[in-house]
Amino acid sequence: MNPRHAALAVLTTTIWGVNFVVIKVGLHEFPPLLFSSLRFLAAAVPALWFVGRPRVPWKWVVAVALALGVAKFGLLFLGMGAGMPAGLSSLVLQSQVFFTVIFAAALLRERPRPVQLVGMAVAALGIVLIAVDYGVTSPLSALVLVILGAVAWGLSNVATRYAKPPDALSFNVWVCAFAVLPLLGLSLVFEGPSAAITSLAGISWTGLGALLFIAWVSTLFGFSVWGFLLREYDAGTVVPFALLVPVAGMFSGWLFLDEAISPLRLGAAALVIAGMAAATLHRPVRRAPEPEPASVG
C-alpha cells in the first residue's frame, strides 16, 4: 500500500476509534435507541440522493439492516448507555472477528485454520479478563450488551458475504435507511415518546455535533474511504488496519473522558488484539473474498 493510502487507512481507523468517545458524549443527550435511529437517519437521507438502488436482493438489505443496524448498533449504544466505557467498548466490539469465523464455519462451511482457532482462544481469554476486571466495580450487563453487539456484527458479516454487494457504499446507505424505523419503533416502545421529545427539544450544539460526526464523518466518510481501499487492495492488506480501532478508542477514552486503564485491562487488551491479529493478518492466497465491513463505530 502506498504511503498516501496507508495514511487514509490510519485516518479512517482513528476516526472509528474516536467515534466511541463521540457516542459516549451523544448518549448524555439522547436515549440509546433514539440516538442510534437518528444516526442512521442523518447518514441515509443525504446519501440516498446520490446512490442508486442496491444491486442485490432486498432480503439481504433487510437482513443486514436488522443484524448490523438494529441489533449491533442498538446493543452497542445500550451497553455504552448502561455504563460501558468508550475505550473498552471499542476493544470488546472487535471480538466480532472470531464470531464471524464461528458463523462462517457453521453457515458457510468455511473451516477455520489452526492459527484462527488459537487466536480466538487468546482473544476470548482477554475478554474474560476484561469481564473480571470490569465486573469488580460495574454491572456486567453493560459488557454483555456490547458482546452481543459483536455477535450481531458477526452475523451481519456472514449475511454480507451471502449478498456480495457490487457497490458497497450504495448497499450500506440502504442498510442505514432500513434500520431507521425499527430502531425508532423500539425507542418509542422502550424509551417512550416523552424521552424522544425531551431530548430533541433540548438538543445542544454538542449533541448535534456528536450526531453529525457519527453520521457523516464516521459512517459516510469512513466507509467511503474503507470501500475505496478495499477496491484498490486485497482484504488481507486493508482489514488488519482495523486493529488500530481499539488502540485509538482506548487512548481517546483515556484522553478525553479520563477513562481509567488498569494494568489488567492493558494486558487483556494486548491479548484481544493479538488474538484478532492471528485470525486476520495471515490469510491463504486462495479463499473467498472477505465481506466488506459496514462501519466500526
Domain interval for residue 122 = 3-280
Looking at mean pLDDT, say which of 40-49, 111-120, 239-248 comes out highest: 40-49
Does 254 score more than 60 pLDDT? yes
Instruction: Using only the alpha carbons of the chain, give its radius of gyration.
Output: 18
Give the number of domains in the chain: 1
Residue 286: what pLDDT? 47
Average pLDDT over residues 282-288: 48
Handedness of CA 65, 80, 100, 4 (dihedral sign): positive
Q: CA-to-CA distance for 161 and 164, rounded, in angstroms? A: 5
Q: CA-to-CA distance for 15 and 37, rounded, in angstroms? A: 20
Is there a domain that residue 295 lies in? Answer: no
Residue 263: what pLDDT? 84
Of 13-27, 37-51, 273-287, give the lowest mean pLDDT range.
Answer: 273-287
Is there a domain that residue 287 lies in? Answer: no
Is there a domain that residue 296 lies in? Answer: no
Nearest-10 crossing angle of helices 244-257, 3-26: 50
Does 230 score more than 80 pLDDT? no
Does 42 score more than 60 pLDDT? yes
Average pLDDT over residues 255-264: 85
Is there a domain that residue 257 lies in? Answer: yes
User: By CB neighbour count within 10 A (0-12 exposed, 13-18 middle, 19+ buried), where does 223 fall?
Assistant: buried
Residue 282: what pLDDT? 52
Percent of the chain clearing pLDDT 70 (strictly above): 90
Average pLDDT over residues 177-188: 96
Q: What is the pTM of this model?
A: 0.85
pLDDT range class, residue 285, cuts 50, 70, 90:
very low
Q: Is 83 left (phi over 0), alpha (psi -120 to 50) or beta?
A: left
- DSSP H or E segment with residue 125: helix 114-135
Of 83-92, 116-125, 186-195, give the lowest mean pLDDT range.
Answer: 116-125
Of 156-160, 200-204, 212-216, give the lowest mean pLDDT range.
Answer: 156-160
Q: CA-to-CA distance for 38 and 200, rounded, in angstroms? A: 10
Query: How many helices (DSSP H) and strands (DSSP E) are in the chain?
Result: 15, 0
68-108, pLDDT tens digit by residue? Answer: 999 999 999 999 999 899 988 988 888 887 788 788 888 87
